[in-house]
Amino acid sequence: MVERVRQQGVSNPKVLAAMNILAREAFVDEALRMRVYDDCSLPIGQGQTLSQPYIVGRMSELLLGANIPVKRVLEIGTGSGYQAAVLAQCGCAVFTIERIGAFLDVAKARHRRLGLLNIRYLHRDGFKGWPSQAPFDGIIVTAAPPTIPDELKVQLAVGGRLIVPVGAQGGAQRLTVITRTEKDFRSQFFDAVSFVPMLPGEQS
């Protein structure tokens, strides 16, 4: 899997090493483990998915490519816990938010079994971010809002990056990188992607 991700263009050594160390099958139900290394996303319940390996690697690499040291990262959408685990394995302190409480409980148990202790958790509407822990060197969003949430942008440190897929489900979505400068925000557009929609509110 990691060699395929490398061939697809991901080159950050920390990201590749993290994906090589982490057993991806630990983040899905047993029924899906035969497919866990396929180059596709996988359902994890309640209309949510585990992103394909390339997308996890690509988003992680873009996040870590900021011009400042990326030590504190906010993740919006814990899901299975895999993306947070990759970033934690890269040495980041990860603050992860999940609107579905059941997902958060399962991800936390998975992380603890793997000895990943540099992750903090919050059951909350992801559109609000985590202002009390801001600023963050990087923010990664694992679902697609129709537009970029301003409340997340302002929680970035100067020089930090927000990685977010933007667009409607079933329509044109683009992986977008927002960099905070001293004066404003700069946008860059990358891969065409397909993510589940980012939803407001909380549920158990």
Edge-first strand listing for the sheet containing 185-193 = 119-123, 93-98, 72-76, 136-141, 156-166, 173-180, 185-193
Please provide the distance, in angstroms rounded to a whole number, between the alpha carbons at the two ends of the chain: 33
Active-site residue, from 41, 51, 194, 204: 51
Nearest 5°: phi and psi at 157? -75, 155
What whole-number distance in Å separates Cα of residue 54 and Cα of residue 13? Answer: 14
φ, ψ of residue 150 in degrees (nearest 5): -60, -35
Judge whether 96 and 79 are in contact, CB under 8 Å.
no
Q: Establish whether 80 is a catalytic residue.
A: no
Query: If you write DSSP's letter for every residue of 65-107 in order, what string do you get?
Result: TSSS---EEEEE--TTSHHHHHHHHTT-EEEEEESBHHHHHHH
The set of catalytic residues is: 51
